[in-house]
Structure 1
């Protein structure tokens, strides 16, 4: 499970990684500016990658980077937004009003402890490169929104939570984005040693 994440990366990094993934980013309105963010929380906007809606699939499969709100609208009044979405036993397809997505992050936060304030940890990639978390997006009257997919935790996440988000290896980004393979063939917890956890106390707290 993930209730917040860090988004400290630049556009050059993303362009390079998505080129490597054979899911190149297309920018219809010019390249955007991306500001680094220490913590993206529910209802915040964050850059999300999805299939390029203006692309001709017969020519080239491309992706696009768009701002979306973190969390689907709540299912009932006074309920929180849906920020995590269970992946098991579901099929995810692309369409004009929603589909598969990847959320670039520099790490995601988890907490341990039973009393407040809990200990906050940042889990990021060993090489310091941005991660791409598997997600789904939906269009809505208030704008597009996304929810992070979760599964049973891998060995790197299990010490911190009973559920885990799904950072996909670069080699699977295109298959996920362009719906080339079923979800169950792609959405697996990362192998041991994929992530490293570091203490990340909130500013002003020890």
Structure 2
């Protein structure tokens, strides 16, 4: 399950792409600081575009914590989408890649193999998420589903990258969840191996 992702695209490019899709961005806390990061990990602060209740095609760009504390204190960084409507508090998580970890191909290697998934044809993309108030303040989590054809060889579950024509629909909570959250066509998520991977970090998947 994804516990590490990447964002190295500058905020100006992100804002321009949203404008081209006629998604209006509000920055209620000012322009967020979005430094290029190869690894965004659980509990890190990262940018999201959250929905504005009652307004389609508008989102608020803010920095928030990835994961909220679960009942026993473990971070909820992934959240199952099946059977849930998500009629409020939707958000788009900005990324240009995400990682999965597998047992090492070399049995002598103690560290897990690390794999980077990117979006074919686009330099960056959005991951479907939700946000909520928590004991740690406002925080977001990534939604998950059974793995599609690109991710299944590496993990039985996956987060949900969205194509650009899905972004406005996910920000609109009146659009049913099952009309937005679905697998991408095979070959949409090219994968490359990253060496020197640390072991996957523990946490709570809901």
What TM-score do the two structures reach when normalised by structure 2? 0.86
Measure, in 1, the Cα distance between the counterparts of 2:139 and 2:20: 26
For structure 1, the residue ranges without an aligned partner over 5 or more in a row are none
Compute the displacement of 1:29 (Å): 4.8
Partner of 1:83: 77
Aligned-partner Cα distance in 1 for 2:101–2:29: 39
Confirm or deny: 8 A CA contact 1:101 1:134 kept in the other structure.
yes
| CA distance in 2 between partners of 1:30 and 1:111 (Å) | 35
For 1:166, the equivalent position in structure 2 comes to 160
1:49 corresponds to 2:49: yes
RMSD, aligned α-carbons: 2.0
SS of equivalent residue, structure 2 residue 43: coil
Displacement of 1:49 in angstroms is: 0.7
3-state secondary structure, aligned to 2:22: coil
Tell me the residue number matched to 2:2.
2
Q: Provide structure 2 residue ranges, at least 5 long, that are not aligned to the other structure.
A: 199-206
Match for 1:113 among 72, 81, 103?
Answer: 103
Residues 34-54 of structure 1: per-residue CA shift (max 9 Å, x gap): 20111111111110110247x
Shift of 1:203: 7.6
1:199 and 2:193 aligned: yes
Q: Distance in 2 between matches of 1:180 and 1:141?
A: 28
What does residue 175 of structure 1 align with?
169
Equivalent residues, number: 194
Report the Cα offset of residue 128 of structure 1. Answer: 4.5
Partner of 1:157: 151
The alpha-carbon deviation at position 117 of structure 1 amounts to 1.1
Aligned position for 1:72 = 68
The answer as to whether partners of 1:164 and 1:189 remain within 8 angstroms in 2 is no
- Of 81, 90, 99, 1:100 maps to 90
SS in 2 for 1:184: helix
